[in-house]
Amino acid sequence: MNSSNLKLVLILALIFITTVFSGQNIQIININVLVWTYYMSVSIVIISMLIVGVLFGWFLKSYVNHQNKKVLVKDKIINPD
């Protein structure tokens, strides 16, 4: 199994587990943020935090790749072959 197939299987498994977990946790809870209180389903909280985590990881990976490219270009300019 190559790397792309493994990623696809892991993503599908994560989606399946999240769907089953959020389907079983539909009760309403209150979320307190400083002075505000929000009432929402546990499944909405779970899915939104999953999306925030995925986006954060994607942006962090993009930032690290960009920094690595900058270092490689800088090194290439300073020490040409």
pLDDT tens-place string over residues 10-66: 989 988 987 888 788 888 988 888 899 989 888 888 888 888 998 999 999 999 888
Domain of 35, in residue numbers: 3-78
State the pTM of this model.
0.59
Domains in the chain, number: 1
Higher pLDDT, 78 or 52: 52
The 3 state secondary structure assigned to the chain is CCHHHHHHHHHHHHHHHHHHHHHHCCCEEEEEECCEEEEEEHHHHHHHHHHHHHHHHHHHHHHHHHHHHHHHHHHHHHCCC
Confidence (pLDDT) at 78? 65
